[in-house]
Structure 1
């Protein structure tokens, strides 16, 4: 394990004893949860085939254990220890079948999946297969854009197993395209840079680069000890920050990728710029709806956003990322103005050494010991309003467990609100995991996210 994987595994092993945070936060470990809506429920044989494919990865047959006797108590140094052989029937025990009658019951299954702790003596993953109760009405009782009709398979994985890029490699191994070929994914390219510059432009670019490096380094060093975000309804929690024991999954209506691409092509922005701007506008509208006084001001609102490092071993399950602090363009403004502000912020971050300085700091804090590390992680996270992650999924329909996948939902809880965006087969879907008491009516944010995309489309095109 690298130091980051050790940190995440330590959180899973501590479980309800604080997870990645100090005991005083009363937090738990928060698994990654991917929901795959299938055309039909998988049979036992199809599940066995799925497990056989998973077991190609040693980490999915292993438990996280102390590396030496000194680490038994403080879990400072950990390793993967294989506890199941290939084809072991024990893996089938981590599949649970649940029947639901209504969308409300399905919503509760999602909520429970966010907080249920793993059996740490076994590999750190499991599955919940949700189907409709037999004999109920053939009409599903809810809006299909929120919680589509089952069957749905919830795959729960400890973050220690791997980051988003690594887990996409797992998905590629266990699924296929409709024609039986390889799963197709987005190919990301950085925005093209100017190839020719005047002497003055080159000098100015160098001066700007030095400033960006200095600012990024200071930001990475001081964020955990810096100011807190503005107290808003969206941030929800108030000092002393801690986990309330409640989390609700809010699945928002899908947005057409073609609409986002059309905005991207005309505006010169990236998909991520557009998503950040639309989310900021949606939160702004949410504040106005709930009567938050910050709706008429410019609140300081940031997300702790995972930054994936490009250097990694292809096909290996690992964690190669860190958090960067992303400031959202809040306040009353047009959708296009917000988009330009988001683009400026994201462009600045792409040139900043902040993620690399933060990675170095993480190693230093990890060397100081688990207790120091938990305190620093808590200080960093509690200063932000949310964790925001954007996960690119397959670009075309895939087959999983012998069935066509109709839709994919990705969600994860955290000490603060978590907002996850996942794309799949021409659609992009926003999922929020919030404290329902501190951030009520969060569904409105999803509705307004779609509205912001529509506003951008009308203003830009």
Structure 2
């Protein structure tokens, strides 16, 4: 049976009069696309809808528009894969790992489903010929003469970062190196993991990780959705991105914001609310509307980055690097002493390391800044097991030209605080929703507008606070690398795990041939910040800057 979409209700005559905050205009902006989409849906004849149902295969799990955008974002310079590495001690065998993967990981439907694309999007379809041997690979690490296994592992991860996954199979792979000895001299194994971003974001993959390790709980069971009709799908594709998206997203941000946005969508209720003495709620709605307009303008009018050697046309090769973890307690102590967050401290070290790298290359970054896109989680942690992508992006301008670590950390703090309360993550999520509706060339044109103004993608994922074990072996080190989109050639990942915090860099070899040189600067930057913090004249005004 085809579900009918109710006709839009008519606005009472008295609601058309001007209201505080320009609410009728906001109503018109929100409702115009909705009325057009509903009219288009009603105009589709039943035979066409039935044909579309069969043609598009809507009996499968339709991929969300945001996940579709990530699926289509692959290009010759950047593949949208999250790459990760675990080192294990003692080593494990392929057979033991395969048993764990089949018992735990494959309970998530996405890891058994392949993607079928069509002109309107994509659908998750069960892979009837699923073969664990195509996804869990046993391999020997290729090494050059005199090369350490750690360096060979880095080279292999960089190589795999540019090898596409087989589109005819579920979009993930694990590569097990059974015999591996890292720089610590401990024999064990190394596991390289590749997962396409359309399956999940980093927060969701932490949930997957916790179900895979020893003692982890099995994935929660989810009810299978009933097959969607063509009209349901068209409504989901055309109507909800315009009307329901922001309300649902703001549901995670707080009740007052949701209430304000509902008032924006229904100005007649806002008027009644005001008449009954609820002027505070209407003022909130006006502030939200003003904030959205300001943030939209800020995104659209972002100036270009400073021209550095890290920005340009990328090539077709990647290289990765990572460093030993810094003690998380020391990072927290510096943050408390300077009245800054852990993120402020870490991002300041990132800016310092990049600035130092440019100086060592003979460049002068004085007065220069680069923009980094930073993901912001938009979902409750208890729903991370549902997978998919539920995050927005905020642009943070990093002061790479500031040499003084204390001055730099306070500047980062000021800029991070300026982003608090911003609706930019929601607007970025909306942009990805819209991009998922477009054909690939149009999507690329939309997203490249922002990518051209960005030098790096940076992400900070909170990992488990206690060390993990997998198949009886201790996870001695874990790291992941965030993918870059469009022409962006630099990705910086920060992961806290087991009482430490670790940095990883992935770079295009044309723009940054040796990311290890950036990595090697992180620990000295933090040490210098620690030393200067201890030397500050602490007193009554401690932490005030």
Do they fold alike, i.e. is TM over 0.5?
yes
In the alignment, the residues of structure 2 paired with residue 314 and residue 252 of structure 1 have an alpha-carbon distance, to the nearest angstrom, of 28
Q: Is the 8 A contact 1:114 1:412 kept in 2?
A: no
In the alignment, the residues of structure 1 paired with residue 123 and residue 459 of structure 2 have an alpha-carbon distance, to the nearest angstrom, of 27
Aligned to 1:248: 319
- Any residues of structure 2 matched to 1:99-110 within 5 Å, and which? 99-100=140-141, 102-103=148-149, 104-110=151-157
Aligned to 2:207: 169
In the alignment, does 2:509 pair up with 1:436?
yes
1:400 counterpart (455, 467, 470): 470
- For these two proteins, the number of residue pairs brought into alignment is 398
Aligned to 2:133: 92
In the alignment, the residues of structure 2 paired with residue 51 and residue 268 of structure 1 have an alpha-carbon distance, to the nearest angstrom, of 47
Structure 1 residue 127, shift from structure 2 partner: 0.6
- Cα offsets for 1:302-340 (capped at 9, x unmatched): 112212213573520111112221111232342111111
Structure 1 residue 344, shift from structure 2 partner: 1.1
Cα distance 1:298–1:214, how it changes in 2: closer, same or farther (>3 A)?
farther
Specify the SS of the correspondent of 1:249: strand
Structure 1 residue 300, shift from structure 2 partner: 2.7
Aligned to 2:533: 460
Q: Is the 8 A contact 1:410 1:420 kept in 2?
A: yes
2:357 counterpart (275, 282, 286): 286
Aligned to 1:309: 378
2:500 counterpart (416, 427, 446): 427
Structure 1 residue 51, shift from structure 2 partner: 2.4
Aligned to 2:72: 10
In the alignment, does 2:119 pair up with 1:49?
no
In the alignment, the residues of structure 2 paired with residue 398 and residue 382 of structure 1 have an alpha-carbon distance, to the nearest angstrom, of 39
In the alignment, the residues of structure 2 paired with residue 82 and residue 377 of structure 1 have an alpha-carbon distance, to the nearest angstrom, of 30
Aligned to 2:298: 219
Structure 1 residue 52, shift from structure 2 partner: 1.7
Cα distance 1:365–1:120, how it changes in 2: closer, same or farther (>3 A)?
closer
Structure 1 residue 56, shift from structure 2 partner: 1.2
Cα distance 1:150–1:251, how it changes in 2: closer, same or farther (>3 A)?
farther
In the alignment, does 2:163 pair up with 1:116?
yes
1:445 counterpart (518, 528, 539): 518
Aligned to 2:123: 79
In the alignment, the residues of structure 1 paired with residue 462 and residue 193 of structure 2 have an alpha-carbon distance, to the nearest angstrom, of 17
In the alignment, does 2:407 pair up with 1:331?
no
Aligned to 2:109: 58
TM-score (norm 2): 0.67
Structure 1 residue 163, shift from structure 2 partner: 0.7
- Any residues of structure 2 matched to 1:251-290 within 5 Å, and which? 251-290=322-361
Aligned to 1:186: none
In the alignment, the residues of structure 2 paired with residue 35 and residue 307 of structure 1 have an alpha-carbon distance, to the nearest angstrom, of 23
Q: CA RMSD in A?
A: 2.8
In the alignment, the residues of structure 1 paired with residue 177 and residue 188 of structure 2 have an alpha-carbon distance, to the nearest angstrom, of 6
Structure 1 residue 166, shift from structure 2 partner: 1.0
In the alignment, the residues of structure 2 paired with residue 252 and residue 375 of structure 1 have an alpha-carbon distance, to the nearest angstrom, of 36
In the alignment, the residues of structure 2 paired with residue 148 and residue 451 of structure 1 have an alpha-carbon distance, to the nearest angstrom, of 26
In the alignment, the residues of structure 2 paired with residue 209 and residue 353 of structure 1 have an alpha-carbon distance, to the nearest angstrom, of 9
Q: For structure 1, which runs of at least 5 residues remain unmatched after alignment? A: 12-18, 134-139, 184-189, 191-201
Structure 1 residue 368, shift from structure 2 partner: 4.1
Q: For structure 2, which runs of at least 5 residues remain unmatched after alignment? A: 1-62, 219-252, 254-279, 535-545
Aligned to 1:137: none
2:82 counterpart (25, 29, 32): 32
Kindly name which structure, 1 or 2, has the bigger radius of gyration based on alpha carbons.
2
In the alignment, the residues of structure 1 paired with residue 205 and residue 316 of structure 2 have an alpha-carbon distance, to the nearest angstrom, of 27
Cα distance 1:169–1:453, how it changes in 2: closer, same or farther (>3 A)?
same
In the alignment, the residues of structure 2 paired with residue 325 and residue 181 of structure 1 have an alpha-carbon distance, to the nearest angstrom, of 35
Aligned to 1:299: 368
Aligned to 2:44: none
